[in-house]
Chain A
Amino acid sequence: MTPLLLTASLAAAGAGFGLLALAMERHRKQLMPARRPWAPGQRGLMRLAGVLLLGGSFFGCVGVWGASIGATAWFGLLSLMAVAWVAVLTVVALRRR
């Protein structure tokens, strides 16, 4: 159960940050250059889903570690996933050039 929940938390945080990045015009251009810009409604929806996924990963961490350690670990997990996205976006942008 715990490894599954942990993987789910990591995936949720990764997907959440991914959606938040994709909702931004600069990163939409990097990740989906062929697509036209999002409509405001679409963008809002992606942001909402992204935030909800990040929130979901919080509860996953609490499930894995318990409330006090889980809350601490959640911040670490967010840093890891955000850094991972920065790396991915940088590499994608370099490849496009």
Chain B
Amino acid sequence: MKDGFRQSMAWLHTWTGLVLGWLLYFIFVTGTLGYLDTEIDRWMQPELPPAADNMTPTRAVTLGHDWLQANVASAKEWNILVPSDRNIPQLRLYWRDTDNERDSVNLDAAGEPVAARDTGGGQRLYRMHWQLHYLPGWFTGWLISIATFVMFVAMVTGVITHKKIFKDFFTFRPYKGQRSWLDAHNALSVLSLPFQLMITYSGLVFMMFLCMPLLISAFYGGGEAAEESFFDEVFLEEPEVTPSGEPAALVDLAPLIAQAEARWGAGRISHVGIKQPGDANARVHVNGLYSAGPLRTSPGMTFDGVTGELLHERAASGTVARNTRDVFLGLHEGMFAGPLLRFFYLLSSVMGTAMIATGLILWTVKRRQKLDSKGEGAALGVALVERLNVGTVVGLNIAVAVYFLANRLIPADFEGRADWEVHAMFLAWAAMLIHAGLRSPAQGWREQCVIAAVAFCAVPVVNALTTERHLVHSLAMGDWVFAGFDLAMIATGLTAAAVAFYLRGKPAEQPAGSRRAANRRRDASVSARP
């Protein structure tokens, strides 16, 4: 009975993992990069000065206000993002005009606008983590939700299937074919299991309003108005302000900032929003930092925009239900993570990505070995999965390198260049999938690793050729975001080169080998047994 249960769990694990494995791999790669979103943003706009996070909020708000007043005085809403920590590295303004059109500008330390290339940046890459690309929103919402459910099922069934979690806790046996892939898959998942469970469960929490819409109607009643009041409560939307039509000078913002800083601590301000500036009904919203802890909300204060009177104040901590949700979301996004904790987040998410990759490869290695021992050549399903693995596990990473290369190589005045960065990425991925389809898996792995090595190593080279901020310059200036980015590209490229070198002329060691290879591998593992 027990074995029967474990077997059906193993079956479920195998097939749920396979069917959505490539999509989950995409989600994990883009999610991993999401932990470096603002760092990637900064690298992708080399025109912007290095982070201005030593600017005081008062100074930032004064500069921002002066620019907005001088240039877009008629806008119905102003926003000033205060450079406060890694999450907001630059002084950035955005506004909505009377037609609801949004626009934005970055200011340097002197308050002058900085022209920077149009790019999707790290944010575009990160948004693919839950929005994918080229697909309608309602469809991706459901697809991502289903993938997250499946991920959760795969995690739980994986734990049940794994018979020796503690006995094999530290075990990795290299050079033993399928055994090694299973060991690697197990070690990667078990050693980062708390993170993987947290990230998957909290991923589901993100999707809860989509997946469980009826719960809202159950407590708030049906209809759009009820839904709206619910979302206002959840998302803490500041109500729209109707203009009185009477002009009135905006209150001096500096004392308001001082009041908020006295409350939350010096420098702990992330955003100042002004609704209907220049109108008698103007409102000023001041928001604190999101990075204080895993609770993903900030404290806020609302002031009368003319008299400067404090109208109401909101604590970061809300009701128990909202706090529960906010903690899960906060843990998922890790905006509070400093450098070391961010490194832990990266390590865990890279392990998750590798867990999916090894799982996908394991599926083919197992079946290829069985096919080969029966002397059967190709089975269509196995051959297809083998090639999709090559084109995704390596190919998607090449596509990411191409995204970065496109950022440097597409001319600054090229129409729609931000979109073409993404098109370049997906074209590269498509090319890699086609390449994988045309070559044998052994050739595919080797050749794509060579392509990945070249593509990643080319990134810092192209950066040096097209901008002033090359690696030596970044190191000399102590610009660790730029230097770190270039060094990470080189490290990734060298890793791919090492794998390609390892796979050279050794079909026996490539993940899903030919028949001869599999035989040799089996012989080796038999002889290695004591």
Contacts and interface: CB of A to CB of B under 8 A. Distances in A.
A27 B168 CA distance: 10
A83 interface: yes
Chain B interface size range: 20 to 34
Interface string A1-39: 000001000000000010011001011000000000000
Contact of B167 (A24, A65, A69, A72): A24
Contacts of A86: 170-172, 187, 191
A6 B344 CA distance: 14
Contacts of B340: 6, 73
Interface in B252-305: 293-295
A79 B348 CA distance: 7
A69 B341 CA distance: 9
> Which of A66, A69, A78 gathers the greatest number of chain B CB atoms within 10 Å?
A69
B341 A76 contact: yes
Contacts of A79: 191-192, 194-195, 344, 347-348, 351
B61 interface: no
Contacts of A90: 172, 174
Contacts of A85: 170
Contacts of B194: 75, 78-79
Contacts of A94: 174
A92 B235 CA distance: 53
Nearest to B334: A72
Contacts of A20: 169
Contacts of B187: 83, 86
A83 B195 contact: no
A77 B344 contact: yes
Interface string A62-97: 000110110011011111101101100110011000
Given A26-B171, A89-B170, A82 B345 contact: no
A34 B191 CA distance: 29
> Which of B167, B172, B173, B331 gathers the greatest number of chain A CB atoms within 10 Å?
B172
B43 interface: no
Nearest to B291: A69
A72 B194 CA distance: 10
A41 B198 CA distance: 36
A82 to B, nearest CB: 4
A28 to B, nearest CB: 11
A39 B83 CA distance: 60
B429 interface: no
A76 B198 CA distance: 12
Contacts of A68: 293-295
Contacts of A78: 194
Given A27-B170, A83-B351, A85-B170, A65 B191 contact: no
Closest 4 pairs (CB-CB, A-B): A76-B344, A82-B191, A75-B194, A79-B192
6 contacts: A6-B340, A68-B294, A75-B348, A82-B170, A83-B187, A90-B174
Interface of B: 167, 169-174, 187, 191-192, 194-195, 198, 293-295, 331, 336-337, 340-341, 343-345, 347-348, 351
